[in-house]
Structure 1
């Protein structure tokens, strides 16, 4: 096992990314500050890049003293998480210690293989993390040389349909019992008990993103928990607004 992975054992990895181009936090400095706050709270590592790509990875790598798992989301369909060896090298240049790569068996935009992308990470002396959706993906990723496997894409690929909207603890449990490499739990870990359950299921570490670093999502959770205003109250509010004008 790569020595760097020892620093992740049993730890919380915080994913610091935005998911929309119009997100008010889509700024490398904002991402770096968010990452710093997560590390102050006890994050063992930061997963970052996303649609911000190397710029976000570079800013966060300079701001924190924990391992940085870098990725680059280029596109919106098919394989788009660090999809080619070129993306691997650019994320590596930005300062990542671990490169997260789409580890599914789907075709890649440049026609090359997952093994090529993993080899690119290894050529730079870095750890290759394969983001998978199924057991078959995970087995193929390990055969291709992945150092660690993450359940990131469970529920997000055609052959891994999402069941109840929660994390896929069954996949974590299965992979942890079968694979010779560490298994990181990721995907829809929205509560502290979800994270604890992942470790209990055999996860080496657990990634939490949206529930920690997405203020818009968090605000929506609280707002949606409030009772809806009766229609009559909405009418009164509208009348009051017109009167004030």
Structure 2
């Protein structure tokens, strides 16, 4: 499966179809429509949150689905345990995305334990990392993809307004594992720049699928003195 999904993603766009708690878009039927719209626009895959949404989206679109399960709001909260990961695989996720930072996991497992369990469930693993060292380690532990998702959101990683292209380039040089650029990619030009730095594929979320956040950006700019 790794080669077929990697081939499908190569040089292309993956759309993150998610909404935060309390957002009007946080509705399974709405998120399915977002996924279908992404497919109609030419996306190579979608990234969605929660087993129920994974199951609904896999039934609705003929694209590889990256599933994650956000649980909690501090520490490791992106697919934090092996139980969360296996639930996503059982729901039909082709790829399970999980936090692969060096922070402790709430069930006491290691990222390597999660990789082994997901592979046994016949799904792939995307390691969400914040630093070069974490990405290299995740690749050695068997991750099928390494994503820059957490750069800028975890202590020890650089805070910046745009994508972490330096991390993308570093991971592309340091490992043969496909690197996925994700995080603060706001324009087609930034997405293309990520590919030029060695990204295998690019994930874009807010700039495509988050009308509340996009509206807030305009409102904030217009109300500045």
1:125 aligns with 2:125: no
Structure 1's unaligned 5+ residue stretches are: 230-245
Match of 2:8 in 1: 7
Summarize deviations over 1:36-88 as a string: whole Å, max 9, x none: 01110111000011xxx111111111111010000000111111111111111
Match of 2:166 in 1: 170
Distance 2:136 2:196 in 1: 22
Please point out which of 142, 156, 159 is paired with 2:156.
159
Distance 1:158 1:8 in 2: 30
Please point out which of 33, 36, 54 is paired with 1:57.
54
Match of 1:238 in 2: none
Please point out which of 179, 184, 198 is paired with 2:180.
184
Aligned length: 224
Match of 1:93 in 2: 90
Q: How far did 1:227 drift?
A: 6.0
Q: How far did 1:228 drift?
A: 5.2
Structure 2's unaligned 5+ residue stretches are: none
Cα contact 1:105–1:140 (8 A) shared by 2: no
> 2:79 aligns to what SS in structure 1?
coil
Distance 2:157 2:63 in 1: 32
Q: How far did 1:222 drift?
A: 2.6
Distance 2:208 2:147 in 1: 19
Match of 1:193 in 2: 189
| Greater relative CO (CA pairs within 8 A, separation 6+) | 2
Q: How far did 1:221 drift?
A: 2.4
Determine which structure has more spread, i.e. the larger CA radius of gyration: 1
What TM-score, normalized to structure 2?
0.96
Change (3 A) 1:172 1:228: closer
Distance 2:224 2:88 in 1: 45
Q: How far did 1:124 drift?
A: 1.2
Distance 2:133 2:94 in 1: 26
> 1:99 aligns to what SS in structure 2?
strand
Bigger mean CA offset, 139-148 vs 208-217:
139-148
Please point out which of 101, 105, 109 is paired with 1:108.
105
Match of 1:138 in 2: 135
What TM-score, normalized to structure 1?
0.88
Match of 1:219 in 2: 215
